[in-house]
């Protein structure tokens, strides 16, 4: 089995990636990720382990296109996840450490949020998210779609 994977076949490719927080060029700058090289091939499972604050979430945020590296190159399936963010919509998923529930929405509406962002219509969203029993489902369907 090979230990290395070339960038061309990598699903995730990081080349000398660094991320600094704070004002660039000042002493207030903090380098959270420093020159990271990483290649992950399609289907490969990878665990990033490290003590708290070592930069794991920062790395995931760059791979997901949520934050831009200060320097270096991040590629997912050959594309830049930050500048090409829209093309990854619905194709990259993250389970965050803390919940990201919107308190003004119901539990089901929170579950529906991802489908809303993918422009899935209300009936299809309900079909795919409803966790309740058949009777509750019928009532909710009537409430969302109106009688009929
Ligand atoms: N937006 C930010 N502004 C300034 N510093 C930040 C920011 N985000 C992260 N940091 C700092 O960068 C470092 C890495 O943070 P990160 O959240 O990536 O660590 P982590 O490995 O995920 O930690 P944990 O195991 O606690 O989740 C930490 O010192 C953190 O304080
Ligand atoms: Mg973290």
- Cβ neighbours, 10 Å, residue 92: 15
User: What distance, in Å, lies between the first and last C-alpha atoms of the chain?
Assistant: 60
Ligand nearest, relative to CA of residue 48: 1
Tens-place pLDDT, residues 10-30: 899 999 999 999 877 777 899
Cα separation, 14 vs 146, whole angstroms: 50
Residue 4 placed within a domain: no
> What is residue 13's three-state secondary structure?
strand
Ligand 1 atom 3, closest CA: 21
CA of 81 to the centre of ligand 1 (A): 20
Residues 56 and 115 occupy one common structural domain: no
Predicted confidence (pLDDT) per residue in 45-99, tens digit: 999 999 999 999 999 999 999 999 999 999 999 999 999 999 998 888 888 888 8
Closest residue by Cα to atom 16, ligand 1, is 55
Residues 72 and 124 in one domain: no
Residues 69 and 129 reside in one and the same domain: no
**Co-location of 80 and 17 in the same domain:** yes
Q: Give the global pTM.
A: 0.81
Decide if 94 is inside a domain.
no
How many domains would you assign to the chain? 2
Q: Largest alpha-carbon pair distance within the chain? A: 65
- Which residue has 């963010």 as its token pair? 85
Let me know whether 40 and 69 are in one domain. yes
Q: Which residue segment(s) compose the domain that 112 sits in?
A: 107-145
Ligand 1 centroid distance, CA of 138 (Å): 45
Domain CATH code at residue 65: 3.40.50.300
pLDDT surpassing 50 at residue 1:
no
User: Which residue's CA is the nearest one to ligand 1's atom 14?
Assistant: 55
Q: Residue 139: how many CA atoms within 13 Å on its side-chain side? A: 6
């Amino acid at each position: 089995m090979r230990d290395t994977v070339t960038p061309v076949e990598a699903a995730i490719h990081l080349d000398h990636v660094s991320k600094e927080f704070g004002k660039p060029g000042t002493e207030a700058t903090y380098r959270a990720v420093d020159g990271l090289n990483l290649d992950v091939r399609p289907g490969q499972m990878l665990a990033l382990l490290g003590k708290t604050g070592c930069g794991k979430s920062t790395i995931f945020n760059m791979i997901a296109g949520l934050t831009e590296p200060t320097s270096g190159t991040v590629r997912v399936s050959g594309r830049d996840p930050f500048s090409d963010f829209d093309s990854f919509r619905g194709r990259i998923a993250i389970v965050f450490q803390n919940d990201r529930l919107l308190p003004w929405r119901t539990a089901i509406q929170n579950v529906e949020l991802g489908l809303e962002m993918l422009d899935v219509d209300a009936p299809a969203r309900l079909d795919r998210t409803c966790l309740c029993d058949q009777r509750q489902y019928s009532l909710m369907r009537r409430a969302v779609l109106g009688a009929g």
